[in-house]
Amino acid sequence: MLKLSFLDLVPVTDTGTIAQSLANAADLARHAEALGYARYWVAEHHGMAGIASAATSVVLAHIGQATSTIRIGAGGIMLPNHAPMVIAEQFGTLEALFPGRVDLGLGRAPGSDGRVAQALRRNLASDERQFPQDVVELQAFLAGDDRLGIRAVPGEGTKVPLWILGSSLFGAQLAAMLGLPYAFASHFAPDALDEALDIYRRQFRPSEQLAEPYAAAAFNVFAADTREEAELLASSQQQAFVALRTGNPGKMKPPLAGYKDSLPPNARAILDHVLQCSAVGTVDDIAAGLQGFAARTGVDEVIVASSMYDHAARKRSLAIAIEAAKRL
C-alpha cells in the first residue's frame, strides 16, 4: 500500500469560527488515525483569516490529545520566525506529552508577508539566509549538545526527528547535506519537484537520524462518490488559491458550481499551474492520480492536502483517498 500522510491548514470558513476549525482538526485527526494515515501535520501561517494553525505547537498539542497512535507534527515550522531554542522547548514539550509521535518539519519561508514577518520577529535580523545555521543549532538543542553552553528544557535529549521542507532546490540540497528526510510542497509549488528530488537523492549524506534518503511530496486530493460532487467540492480551494494569488486572501468560501469555467484565462492559468499535482473525482480517479504521482516521483510517502468547505465531505475525501491507496 502507498503510504499516505495528511497536511491540514486548519481552514476557517466564511460562516465558521476559529473554535470550530480547531474542533474539526481534532475530529479529522482521529478520523485519519482510524483510517491508517501515517502522520497528521499542520502548517504555520500568519495573518490569514482563513487559516487557524498560526500557533502550530499549540494546535499540535490539541491534536495529540485527540489521538493516540498517529504521528503528529509541523509541516512546517517557519524557522526564521523563531529562535531555535524556543522551538526546541516547544517540540521537546510535545515529545514529552506524546512520546515517539512527534515530527518537526522546518521551512525557511516566513509563512506570511514582510509586514507580518517583521511583527513576528520585531526585526528582520533573523532571516532565511541563516536557515541552515538555525537548523544545525536546533539539532544541537534537541540533542543536548554541551558545546552550546545552555540547555533547552524541555527539549534536550529528545532528538525529535527533523524534516526539511521546501519548494525549491535549496531545501533539497540542505536536507541531503544534513542527512534529513525531505518533503516537497508540490501541492502549491510544483515547478522544481522532479529536479529537487533528484538532487536530494544524489547528494544525500547518511546521518545519525537517517541512513538513506527518505522523500515525501504533497498532492491535492478532492474525492467524493461522484466526479461531479468532487469537482464542486474542489471549487472552494480553487477560490482560495485565486484569492491568495491575486492579493485578496480571506476565509474559505462555499463551493461554487462552474467556478473554474467562469474565470478569465489568466486566473484559469493560475489554477492549472498551482494545482497540477492533484486528483479530483471518485476512488478510481484518485487511485489513478496517486499511482501516476508515485510513479513519477518515487517518493516514500505522499502527503495528502485537501481543504474543503464541508467537514463531513472532507472526512469522506480522506476515506476515499486511503481506499485508493490500498488499491496500489
Residue 153 three-state SS: coil
**Residues 6 or more apart whose Cβ sits within 8 Å of residue 160:** 91, 92, 94, 95, 102, 103, 104, 142
Task: Decide if domain 3-219+299-319 falls under CATH 3.40.50.1980.
Answer: no
Q: Tell me which residues of the chain have a pLDDT lower than 70.
A: 110-113, 121-128
Q: What is the pLDDT of residue 112?
A: 62
Query: Taking the complete model, does pTM exceed 0.85, yes or no?
Result: yes
Task: Tell me what pLDDT residue 244 has.
Answer: 86
- List alpha helices for the chain, DSSP H: 18-35, 56-66, 84-97, 114-121, 131-143, 169-178, 193-203, 227-245, 259-262, 265-274, 283-297, 311-326
pLDDT per residue as tens digits for the range 147-204? 988 999 999 999 899 999 999 999 999 999 999 999 999 999 999 999 999 999 999 9
pLDDT at site 285? 98
The reported pLDDT for the residue numbered 223 is: 98
